[in-house]
Amino acid sequence: MHSKGTVMLDLPLRQTLLARSDLFRGMPEHLLRYVATHMVERTLDDRELLYFKDDSLEFIALVVEGRIYSMVHGPDGREQIIGSTGAGQVVGETALIKDHGRESSTFASGPTRLLQLGSRHFGVLFEEPVFLRRLLMLMMLRLLHAIELLELVCLHRLESRLARFLLANLGEIDLALAMPSVSLPASQGVLASMLNTSRPKLNVQLQLWRRSGLISGNLERMVINDLEHLRRKAFALN
């Protein structure tokens, strides 16, 4: 399915996108060509689900544009975002290594474009040792990220969690103010789910920091006015 006005990606462009991705970077030309040939394009609207928790493992997908969030639900219905996948990254890669259902649900943040590879084409990937090594490295990195997230949401106060998140996502220096800035999720609800808190509690913390002058701006472009103070908050004893 393609949104109105969307131009389909041709084979050379697909190969280029794959060659730059976290999973397929450095793969042999014949493998890139095979994958690019058999991938299917898909577009998602904002908040549209890519797959549900416990769905069968039918595909992996390369994010071309937009962002995909992975989430789980607690027994009380509360959402916890456990991962984020942006352009140039593969989502759903656990389909390559296990034979039971998805470990989380995933949804799009804003209009999102993907290239999907169905499980019937995985056999060729398993025949390439370079691919298997890259898959192992990627899974290890994501395991480390999951451990860091577990530590963050379980062992630290909200103020520390938020400060650490901002430090981990620092972007370029805001040229107008000569201060570091952070690009955050499109909604406060998404950010709250990533930090294992409620929107009201997150909003109170952000407003306190704005009034104190520690931060300014909005979620789209938050400016850090005192980086050292933010670091002290991030690593203060709970």
Q: Tens digits of per-residue pLDDT, 63-76?
A: 999 999 999 988 87
Quick check: is 6 in a domain?
A: no
Alpha helix (H) ranges present in 54-128? Answer: 122-126
Identify the CATH number of the domain in which residue 192 sits. 1.10.10.10
Pair (87, 201) in one structural domain: no
CATH number of the domain that residue 57 is part of? 2.60.120.10
d(CA 98, CA 71): 19
How far is 127 from 183, CA to CA, in rounded Å?
Answer: 40
Q: What is the CA radius of gyration of the chain?
A: 20
Q: Are residues 147 and 167 in the same domain?
A: no
Is 189 part of a structural domain of the chain?
Answer: yes
Residue at token pair 């993907």 = 114
Expressed as residue numbers, the domain containing 133 is 11-154
Mean pLDDT, all residues of the chain:
89
Q: Give the whole-angstrom CA distance, residue 68 versus residue 54.
A: 17
CA 196 to CA 3: how far, in whole Å?
Answer: 34
User: Domain end: 110, 129, 154, which one?
Assistant: 154
- The tens digit of pLDDT for each residue in 218-227 reads 877 889 999 9
Which has the closest alpha carbon to 93: 135, 155, 130? 135
Residues 162 and 145 in one domain: no
Residue 15 has pLDDT above 90, yes or no: yes
Is 51 contained in some domain? yes
d(CA 199, CA 203): 6
